[in-house]
Structure 1
């Protein structure tokens, strides 16, 4: 089959959750199918600058077509965000005095379709050439897979090929998910492939028409990583965070709590943060930023950690949690995120915290963990990933979805 995967960013240097998921899926599907990626020339979701000059390339054996996008207009973006999230100054004042809900129920703050179109444009990536390619070449592909509900390429591209579309929404309980306008997307997709039961429940409880689309829960396959060089060693104990270093991921709170906890320890530990520091957070002698590093380096740091810590409030899957588990590394996760909560509760491969007192308790438990207890926790994580997140079963679900779409066209 000829399959196109549409995703906002793509490449080996891009380690965002949906983007990495799309690359892993594309590389495995390409062993059996003819796969083409449709994406942008951007590496930054903050600016959407066209910093990748190539418009066509091969990445790990997969054909990638790149299209330019308009640089993000931050002023218009913030203005439209306040409009659609109903957080303009006078609306915040009405909320304080208790009148907002009454007026909102009468439809006084309802946004328009034009507002939503402008939101997609100014949020970015706005790349009309990409959607024009879909329109002109839709007959050449059997299936289109769209990643992430949030952005213009999915919202503008999917309706063009709705009858042959698979939507991988990567949705989570965030403010933007409830913006008036996104519901149409979940109604039009021929097939929805969810990452977790939590995500499926969120979508179907919010956008009831999504239940009309055929769907499955697949997630992503996670394989263990064999290091080529096992000589990595540091002279201190540490916990590790891997991913986008962003206030939106609650990393600033993690750093603050870690510093409070660590200053009372007689034998200090360190917090290592791996990834691009997009929020420009600052560290100290016990908070180390590695920047973006290779997969080999990432797994060297991960394997040596006392635990992986994930402070995010919003995840649709959390691939890095599963990567830690398959390596036998315990996970400390924010229990306020349903997906993370479910991973830890079901696997028994880590600890959960709701607040700072919980965080203190969890850190104490981790530090005092015996080698035998750590082994049991590590084995629990490996068993969990091997049971639910292996590529053979996941690819089988996609093959079934392809057959359904081709049959129903």
Structure 2
């Protein structure tokens, strides 16, 4: 089949869950199909500034066609418009404008879809909230496959989505919770669809993990947060909960990822900033537990990565996706309050047998649901 994959940014060194998912899927589908990625020249998801050359390249077996962004995002205008449309009922034209201002504004990509979209058997669109998917999928609705990566955040309540979601020809969801959420907003179950998640290879051994951690001054025991240290990821609440419970917790909280907030100075908190892949693997290999505090997820890839190494998890129960993943895997615990956070973390730290059992069950869940042959079969 001739397939197109539309995504807001693309590249092996571009961080982002939906971007990574698109790249991993595109590279594997390219072994069996004629795959072209349609994307922008942007690297930064905040400004959408052009940073990569326009035109066609081949990257790891995938044809990549990049189109220039017409204008960077006007951050103040976008913030003001977000406040407006998320505050309550607003006219649909203002909601449509929110998708335009969210960007990236890439007229060449949309013109290509309007002119040549019919040349593809299917066109897969990643992430409903960005302009290429929101404005692009209706142009090829008879062959559009939407990969919404929807979260239970304010954008999902925009009323224009009730008409937008049902217009695609098919759907790929990350979790059953996401499928239910999008179906609710569409007013009916959306078919044909498949819950696919993402594939993982079995975790490679980390024979030098102890040495790598020691070189960075990381002593056990510790619990790990992995990813962008950001208020929107629940990190402010995580820090508050950990500090409130720290006196009764025999472990350090290690934060591994770039920070968008000020991390408090505390003897039991280590903020490492961006970490290399080697250190990242070493941290996962030695963690007593992974903490995932995000209130909004369509799928937590880092949670699957922890289970892939047999590491149990402690997740935010206010996120239906995280709580659902933890229950299906039986690979961790979840919390709703500082007291529950403290009790669950103490249990994971103190009970080695229970911790190991939860980790094994998490790994078995990844083996059942998230190996690439299984995921590709679900997609195709």
Q: What is the TM-score when the length of structure 1 is the normalising length? A: 0.85
Question: For 2:26, what is the secondary structure of its paired residue?
Answer: helix
Picking from 178, 185, 195, the partner of 1:199 is 178
1:358 aligns with 2:337: no
Map 1:238-249; keep pairs closer than 5 Å. Answer: 238-249=222-233
Work out the CA distance in 2 between the residues paired with 1:283 and 1:225. 33
Structure 1 pair 52–144 and aligned structure 2 pair: CA distance change class (3 A):
same
Work out the CA distance in 1 between the residues paired with 2:98 and 2:379. 32
For structure 2, the 5+ residue unaligned runs are: none
Q: Give the match for residue 132 of structure 2.
A: 153
Q: Give the match for residue 25 of structure 2.
A: 25
Question: For 2:132, what is the secondary structure of its paired residue?
Answer: helix
Work out the CA distance in 2 between the residues paired with 1:254 and 1:60. 38
Structure 1 pair 274–15 and aligned structure 2 pair: CA distance change class (3 A):
farther
Structure 1 pair 13–259 and aligned structure 2 pair: CA distance change class (3 A):
farther
1:133 aligns with 2:112: yes
Question: For 2:272, what is the secondary structure of its paired residue?
Answer: strand
Question: For 1:50, what is the secondary structure of its paired residue?
Answer: coil
Map 1:22-61; keep pairs closer than 5 Å. Answer: 22-53=22-53, 55-61=55-61
How many pairs does the alignment contain? 372
1:216 aligns with 2:200: no
Work out the CA distance in 1 between the residues paired with 2:11 and 2:343. 39
Deviation at 1:384, TM superposition (A): 1.0
Q: Note if contact 1:26-1:62 (Cα within 8 Å) is conserved in structure 2.
A: yes
Deviation at 1:182, TM superposition (A): 2.0
Deviation at 1:54, TM superposition (A): 5.8
Q: Note if contact 1:240-1:305 (Cα within 8 Å) is conserved in structure 2.
A: yes
Work out the CA distance in 1 between the residues paired with 2:155 and 2:116. 31
Structure 1 residues 9-32: Cα deviation after superposition (integer angstroms, max 9, x where no partner): 222223322111111111211111
1:270 aligns with 2:252: yes
Deviation at 1:350, TM superposition (A): 1.2
RMSD value over aligned CA atoms? 2.0
Question: For 1:163, what is the secondary structure of its paired residue?
Answer: coil
Map 1:57-206; keep pairs closer than 5 Å. Answer: 57-69=57-69, 70-86=71-87, 109-113=89-93, 115-206=94-185
Deviation at 1:228, TM superposition (A): 6.3
Work out the CA distance in 1 between the residues paired with 2:133 and 2:82. 19
Work out the CA distance in 2 between the residues paired with 1:212 and 1:25. 22
Deviation at 1:348, TM superposition (A): 1.9
Work out the CA distance in 2 between the residues paired with 1:274 and 1:351. 21
Structure 1 residues 151-203: Cα deviation after superposition (integer angstroms, max 9, x where no partner): 10001110111111110111121111111222222111000111111111111
Q: Note if contact 2:249-2:346 (Cα within 8 Å) is conserved in structure 1.
A: no
Structure 1 pair 240–117 and aligned structure 2 pair: CA distance change class (3 A):
same
Q: Note if contact 2:312-2:356 (Cα within 8 Å) is conserved in structure 1.
A: no
Picking from 320, 343, 364, the partner of 1:338 is 320
Structure 1 pair 283–237 and aligned structure 2 pair: CA distance change class (3 A):
farther
